[in-house]
Amino acid sequence: MTLRSGQKPESARARLLAAAAILFYKNGITATGIDSIIKQAGVAKKVSTIILPRRPI
C-alpha cells in the first residue's frame, strides 16, 4: 500500500497513525521504530516526514 497521486495526504496520515497504534500495542512504544511504522503503513519515508515532522528534543 503506497501513496498514489490523487490520494489525499490525510489518508496517509490516518494509515501512519493506525500503524503506529497497532505496533505500539503489539511491541511497546520503546521497541517500535519509525521505519517499522512507515513499512506497516505503506507510505514513502518522504511522505512520513511531511506528515509527521520531527519532535523537538
Domain ranges of the chain: 9-51
pLDDT at 10: 63
Architecture per CATH, 9-51: Orthogonal Bundle (1.10)
pLDDT tens digit string along 3-29?
Answer: 455 555 568 889 999 999 999 999 999
pLDDT at 9: 52
Residue 37's alpha-carbon distances to 1, 6, 18, 48, in angstroms, are 13, 22, 9, 10
Tell me the pLDDT band of 2, cut-offs 50, 70 and 90. Answer: very low
Fill in the DSSP letter of residue 25. Answer: H
pLDDT tens digit string along 21-55?
Answer: 999 999 999 999 999 999 999 988 888 788 777 76
